[in-house]
């Protein structure tokens, strides 16, 4: 990859992040994908939250950044009912299930440090690429279990990306029906 290609990809990613950081756009993406355009999530139901989490590996502290994350709240007291993250992908990534699992696990670990009560964490993967996503969307689909004794295989936990949306699966009419904000232009 050339510096120019990396720069273009990097600038696209920044544009996506900046756009999706706006509550109106974030709500529109949730409504467009999850509720097929029905206006369920309102921008005032969303609150900013931290997108960076840290972990220790090989004696070193590493950071990981979600693209965008918001707290979904209800009521006048803004009671948190979920953390919702959006990961933008322009190319297939066979490690995406592990990445999503890591983001979600970090969010749950953070909650445990703050309270005994947990709220759900949902990560949407929005894929903008034109090429087919030929990788499994679950963790075990990307792991070689052949050398593991057969009796142990069913005991290995799996993690599945349940909210995966491919923009190119939607035609212009469907995009127009589902999205009311500037996200339509990005899509």
Residue 78, domain member (yes or no): yes
Question: pLDDT of 26-42, one tens digit each?
Answer: 999 999 999 999 999 99
Question: pLDDT of 131-149, one tens digit each?
Answer: 999 999 999 999 999 999 9
Residue 178, domain member (yes or no): yes
Residue 5, domain member (yes or no): no
Angle, helix 3-20 to helix 23-34, in steps of 10 degrees: 90
Residue 7, domain member (yes or no): no
Residue 2, domain member (yes or no): no
- 165 lies in which domain range? 12-186
Question: pLDDT of 84-114, one tens digit each?
Answer: 999 999 999 999 999 999 999 999 999 998 8
Six token digits for residue 62:
């590493």
For residue 18, give Cα distances in angstroms to 15, 115, 155, 185.
Answer: 5, 30, 41, 14
For residue 144, give Cα distances in angstroms to 88, 112, 121.
Answer: 27, 32, 27
Threshold 0.75, pTM exceeds: yes
Q: How many structural domains comprise the chain?
A: 1
């Amino acid at each position: 990859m050339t510096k120019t290609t990396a720069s273009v990809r990097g600038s696209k990613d920044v544009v996506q992040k900046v756009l999706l950081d706006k509550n109106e756009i974030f709500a529109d993406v949730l409504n467009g994908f999850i509720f097929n355009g029905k206006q369920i999530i309102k921008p005032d139901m969303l609150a900013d939250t931290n997108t960076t989490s840290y972990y220790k590996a090989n004696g070193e502290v590493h950071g990981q950044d979600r693209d965008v994350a918001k707290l979904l709240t209800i009521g006048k007291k803004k009671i948190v009912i979920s953390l919702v993250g959006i990961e933008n992908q322009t190319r297939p990534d066979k490690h995406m299930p592990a990445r999503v699992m890591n983001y979600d696990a970090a969010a749950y670990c953070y909650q445990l440090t703050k309270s005994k009560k947990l709220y759900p964490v949902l990560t949407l993967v929005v894929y903008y690429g034109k090429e087919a996503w030929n990788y499994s969307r679950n963790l075990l689909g990307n792991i070689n279990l052949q050398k593991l004794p057969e009796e142990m295989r069913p005991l290995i936990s799996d993690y599945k990306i349940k909210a995966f949306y491919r923009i190119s699966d939607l035609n212009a009419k469907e995009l127009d029906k589902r999205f009311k904000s500037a996200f339509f232009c990005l899509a």
